[in-house]
Structure 1
Amino acid sequence: MKLLVRNLSRSTTEQEIRILFSAHGGVTECTLVLDQATGKSKGFAFVAMPNEAEAKKAIKALHETRIGSNRIRVKISK
Structure 2
Amino acid sequence: MKIMIRGLSRLTTEEKILALLAPYGLVQYFHLVMDPNTKNSKGFGFAFMPNPAQAKAAIKSLNGIEVDGEKIRVKKAEDKPEEAKKVEPK
The TM-score, its normalising length taken from structure 2, stands at 0.85
2:4 alignment counterpart: 4
Higher relative contact order (CA 8 A, sep 6+): 1
Identity %: 46
Larger Rg: 2
Count of equivalent residues = 78
Unaligned runs of 5+ in 2: 79-90
In the TM superposition, residue 67 of structure 1 has moved relative to its aligned partner by 0.5
Map of 1:27-66 to 2, 5 A cutoff? 27-66=27-66
2:67 alignment counterpart: 67
Pair 1:17-2:7 in alignment: no
In the TM superposition, residue 68 of structure 1 has moved relative to its aligned partner by 1.7
Unaligned runs of 5+ in 1: none
Runs of at least 4 residues of structure 1 off by over 2 A?
none
- Alignment RMSD, CA only? 0.5
Amino acid of the residue matched to residue 66 of structure 1?
Answer: E
